[in-house]
Chain A
Amino acid sequence: MDRTNDFAFKIATPNGTGSASANGLIMQAIFRMGVPVTGKNVFPSNIQGLPTWYEIRVSKDGYTARTPHFDLMVALNPATYARDVAEVRSGGWLLFDATWPLDAALKRPDVTYLGVPLAGLCNARFAGVRERILMKNIAYAGALAALIGMDTEIVRALIREKYAAKPALLDSNDAALALGFDYATEHFDCPLPIRLAPMDETREAILIDGNTSAALGCVYAGATVGAWYPITPSTSMMEAFNGFCKKYRRDPETRQNRYAILQAEDELAAIGMVIGAGWSGARAFTPTSGPGISLMNEFLGLAYYAEVPAVIFDVQRTGPSTGMPTRTQQGDLMMCAYASHGDTRHVCLYPSDPREAFEFAVAAFDLAERFQTPVFVLTDLDIGMNDWMVPKLTWDDTYRPDRGKVLGVEELESLKAFYRYVDADGDGIAARTLPGVHPNGAYFARGSGHNRFGRYTEDDEEYTDVVDRIARKIQNAAAAVPAPVIRHRPGATMGVVTIGGCHAACVEALDLLEREGIALDFMRVRGFPFGDDVRQFLEAHEVNFVVEQNRDGQLRNLLTLETAVPLDRLHSVRYYGGFPMSAHHVVTGVRAKIDKAA
């Protein structure tokens, strides 16, 4: 079987040793060869010394899901060595640092061992301790370049771009690359059967993580206030927003900021600031993760009931509680849909990759202002922090923000009296006003019981009148959230239903299953409340496999609660151990259920 441009390898290092830049270099070089590539960074919740892995998948067919099968292991962390050896597929290769002898007990007869004295080579070539450690990474990149047939001109060009301003580092990197490359070329039969060949499949693509693209979406949507409390895996989103704002949001003359970033004392304050800013008329957002949403619950109920726009990015991680902060999961689906006490229901968007994270970030602000309510964008650690190959981001310059029903000076001037919660248009959305605009616009926002005039009430009918209207309003949002992606296959009678980042694994699994003669229709939900099309898809299939990443089948539960499709039509396929889902999980899960039924 030809393995050209179709293989996966994994690099094992202790964290804090500088391997990230070498791994990024390898990814980018493959990408620039025009070959579809995906990288998954598996890292610990720790600063230095714990195991970290970087997984790179090369797929000529453009599959981007994680694969648990590795053809080649670069095993440079003694602490995980035994485990790393065990993970190589039979017939695969293992690159190790031959400066020290290998433990014979860990030899596998079905794996080819490639010893490169990385430390030895670097100690001989470089003087300082720091440089020796750092350059070891570039040296293994060099060895890999020879082993899998990377275009060295591209690698060198990348190094030149990166260190253009630092000539000393440029020389060291070049030298280290050559050390590894030359050693491998001399000692092994390069390239291996798992090898690269130039393609033209990445010309219109970029490599980007979802936190960066979502931050960019906030910039393009016109968000001016961002409030946050640092939490893995969402932290890099605000860092990216800050970086873009410094570039694009400074007054050209005064160098003053056309944005405000507030690092709050906790997530409670962060969402409070967002609500305060939204009430004042700014587009405001907060990036966080599950534990942050838990803390925000009280305030989210306030924004829902007082009808204040807010955008919350939940970069989900593995729960419950602190859970595994550096592992991924889709564990917040239920919490976000109904966050806070009392009757609440929230608009949620579920991007599947960084490109959709960009688009849905923009959509979230429009929906939040149009429906005057909190809107969640749920990504996860895999989407948020890993580099994905996606089509280039595009922008329509005719876009203008949907600010919803906000009364201006002229409208207020002509009004005899303004009442905040009167549904004049019959769509459940009442016009709002902003502070400081006009004396006629004043109203009192409150989380306590209020009537349609915005006044405090303890009257049953007045109370019900308002909460029923809000329920209608949120239900109307079902038609405004992104429609599900639905794909039919000829002859399919069963369907696969999924959400968010599981998309990549499902698409690949559907191809694999079709080759086995199992044709399946496909639906990925992209927004909540679910629209009619979601219900219709479920009703049209006697068997729906619901693929998701949490223990309790939260998407399945949500579908059952919200569509009245019987639970026995929805078969759960789950993986929730913390790694991104792979096609293997989906195929195994679907096949097991089909076999059982047969």
Chain B
Amino acid sequence: MTYIPKPAVHHPSLQKNAIGLTRRDYEGSMSTLCAGCGHDSVTAAINQAFWELDIAPYKVAKLSGIGCSSKTPTYFLKEAHGFNSVHGRMPALATGANAANGDILYIGVSGDGDSLSIGLGQMCHAIRRNVNLLYVLENNGVYGLTKGQFSASADRGSTSKKGEANAMEPIDGCLLALSLGATFVARSFSGDKAQLVPILKAGLTHQGFAFIDVISPCVTFNDHEGSTKSYAYTREHNVEVVQADFVPPRSEITTDYDPGSARNVMLHDGSWLRLRKVAEDYDPLDRDRAYAFIREHQRRNEVVTGLLHIAPGAADMHAQAGTVSTPLVQLPYEQLCPGSAALETLQHRFR
């Protein structure tokens, strides 16, 4: 059986969020991924982020391409419309959907094959358009469904399960996103829920394209000694630069942080993103320095995680296109058709 529904049993003591929903209400069907797959941890973090933000699941649309990662939208938010599309083409679908209805919260889940190989162009252009979309790249450096080929994010010198070494330079999604003008760039690790959940929440609230590269080890094909996307490697080489705490607009900002090591960033809806600097001189508002910082640590074989760059207030696709605030799908036909009299008049120019 390839579809496994979860029994809808609610324990009365389950904690409810502000709209009266429990975490169970944010779940989907049972995962069919391998036991221990990093992607399932990301799914859990996504559930948690939506629940904590009190978002009504049916106001969300979840889209994906093809691959293990792209299966995961089935595993969360069963009350949200989902679209599992074709390989590498989720950004185009999300762009069109968003153009038609900007009132929905869009989450796209992709993988390193989907985003960095077959769909590289689409991802780049969705970033350039600043489509209001949380884009989660579940990055394991390997093609799982076709059983273990290198992906474009595999590091040079890393080995496959069969022992072959990768000779090519990797594509780093975060560096790429930065160079394309992405307005929100973060990296995290599937096994670090404490870091991932606040980043996802910040990304969901960001008005524009929020790119999150989540290193998510493949337990079956890429969690061995020669892999640089394994649990052990990532834990060992992880350098956290910025820890993000997300504060919804209705809450008071708590003050238990040291002003010298924190920075508040206001998001479009008036909520605050509180960035706690772990690295002393790191400034996530400075795109160029973010780029240099990632490169510098790469040379030391360190994976920089955290919120790497944010440009709050940048115009998203709708702002750039100057569309009306009412979603296009909700415009009454009377506002769209100029009518017979206008048709008669406009045809004078064709005579």
**A interface list, Cβ under 8 A from B:** 28, 31-32, 206-208, 216, 219-225, 227, 244, 247-249, 251, 254-262, 264-266, 268-282, 284, 298-299, 302, 306, 392-397, 399-401, 433-439, 441-448, 455-458
B3 at the interface (CB under 8 A from A): yes
Given contacts A257-B323, A302-B86, A435-B61, contact A224 B100 (CB under 8 A): yes
Smallest CB–CB gap between A244 and chain B, Å?
A: 8
> In whole angstroms, how far apart are the Cα atoms of A227 and B93 in the complex?
11
Q: Which of B58-111 contact A (CB under 8 A)?
A: 58-59, 61, 63, 73-74, 78-86, 89, 91-101, 103-104
Query: Does any Cβ of A come within 8 Å of B176's Cβ?
Result: no
5 chain-A/chain-B pairs, Cβ below 8 angstroms: A224-B100, A224-B328, A258-B336, A435-B101, A442-B57
Given contacts A275-B93, A276-B93, contact A269 B125 (CB under 8 A): yes
Q: How far, in whole Å, are A269 and B81 apart by their CA atoms in the complex?
A: 21
Closest 6 CB pairs of A and B: A272-B92, A276-B96, A273-B96, A282-B100, A435-B81, A276-B93
Interface centre among A258, A266, A270, A400 (most CB of B within 10 A): A258
- Are B350's CB and A206's CB within 8 A? yes
A457 touches B100 (CB 8 A): no
A225 cross-chain contacts in B, Cβ below 8 A: 96, 99-100, 328
Cross-chain contact of B339 among A277, A395, A400, A458 (Cβ < 8 A): A395
Distance to closest chain A CB from B17 (angstroms): 15
Complex Cα gap A255–B324 (Å): 8
B328 touches A259 (CB 8 A): yes
Stretch of B134-142, B181-189, B253-261, B340-348 lying at the A interface = B340-348
**Cα of A131 to Cα of B344 in the assembled complex, Å:** 36
> Please, how many angstroms separate the alpha-carbon atoms of A45 and B336 in the complex?
36
Asked if A276 meets B57 with Cβ closer than 8 Å, knowing A281-B329, A299-B86, A443-B82, the reply is: no
Q: Is the CB of B100 within 8 A of A248?
A: no
Chain B proximity of A168: nearest CB distance (Å)? 23
Contacts A272-B93, A280-B329 given; does A444 touch B83 at CB 8 Å: yes
Q: Is the interface of B mostly helix, strand, loop or mixed?
A: helix
Of B80, B89, B324, B344, the contact of A256 (CB 8 Å cutoff): B324
CB distance from B56 to the nearest CB of A (A): 8
Q: How far is the CA of A126 from the CA of B86 in the complex (A)?
A: 60
Contact with A along B95-133 (1 / 0, CB 8 A): 111111101100000000000000001101100010000
* Contact (Cβ within 8 A) B328 A258: yes
Q: Given contacts A259-B328, A268-B89, A273-B93, is CB(A397)–CB(B340) below 8 Å?
A: yes
For A260, the chain B residues whose CB sits under 8 A away are: 99-100, 318, 321, 323, 328
Nearest chain A residue, comparing its CB with the CB of B318 = A260
Q: A224-B331, A256-B324, A299-B86 are in contact. Are A262 and B100 (CB under 8 A)?
A: no
Which of B79, B86, B100 contacts A447, CB < 8 Å? B86
- Is B337 an interface residue when CB atoms closer than 8 A count as contact? yes
User: Residues of A contacting B337 with CB < 8 Å?
Assistant: 219-222, 399
Q: With contacts A223-B336, A264-B125, A435-B80 known, what are 5 further pairs, Cβ within 8 A?
A: A224-B328, A260-B99, A306-B83, A436-B61, A443-B82
Task: Say whether, besides A220-B337, A276-B96, A442-B78, A394 and B58 are in contact (CB < 8 Å).
Answer: no
Indicate which residue in B79, B321, B346 contacts A442 across the interface (CB closer than 8 Å).
Answer: B79
- The answer on a CB contact under 8 Å between A435 and B104 is yes
Q: Is B335 an interface residue (CB 8 A)?
A: yes
Q: Which residues of A contact B84 (CB under 8 A)?
A: 444-448
A393 contacts which chain B residues (CB < 8 A)? 343, 347
- Residues in A whose Cβ lies below 8 Å from that of B329: 224, 280-282, 434
Q: A393-B343, A395-B340, A456-B74 are in contact. Are A262 and B95 (CB under 8 A)?
A: yes
Contact between B333 and A281, CB atoms less than 8 A apart: no
CB-defined contacts of B331 to chain A, threshold 8 Å: 224, 258
A28 to B347, CA, bound (A): 14
Q: How far is the CA of A207 from the CA of B325 in the complex (A)?
A: 37
Known: A266-B121, A441-B58, A456-B2. A31 touches B89 (CB 8 A): no
Q: Is B322 part of the binding interface, using a Cβ–Cβ cutoff of 8 Å?
A: yes
Asked if A445 and B83 sit within 8 Å, CB to CB, the answer is yes
* Distance (whole angstroms) from the CB of A465 to the closest CB of chain B: 15
Q: Are B81 and A262 in contact (CB under 8 A)?
A: no
Q: How far is the CA of A216 from the CA of B80 in the complex (A)?
A: 35
Q: In whole angstroms, what is the CA distance A413 to B35 when docked? A: 38
Shortest distance in angstroms between A34's beta carbon and chain B's nearest beta carbon? Answer: 11
Report the bound CA distance from A227 to B122 in whole Å.
Answer: 14
Q: Are B321 and A447 neighbours in the complex by a CB distance under 8 Å?
A: no
Point out the residues of chain A lying under 8 angstroms from B163, CB to CB: none
How far is B296's CA from A458's CA once the two chains are assembled, in angstroms? 48
In the complex, what residues of A have CB within 8 A of residue B74's CB?
444, 456
Assuming the A-B contacts A272-B92, A457-B3, are A280 and B125 also in contact, with contact meaning beta carbons closer than 8 angstroms in the complex?
no
B232 to chain A, nearest CB (A): 33
Residues of chain A within 8 A (CB-CB) of B122 are: 265, 268-269, 272
Q: Does B351 reach chain A (CB closer than 8 Å)?
A: yes
B281 to chain A, nearest CB (A): 37
Bound together, the chains give a CA A280 to CA B160 distance in angstroms of: 41
A496 to B80, CA, bound (A): 53
Chain A CB within 8 A of B338 CB: yes
CA distance A394 to B84 in the complex (A): 41
User: With A299-B89, A456-B2 in contact, do A439 and B58 touch (Cβ < 8 Å)?
Assistant: yes
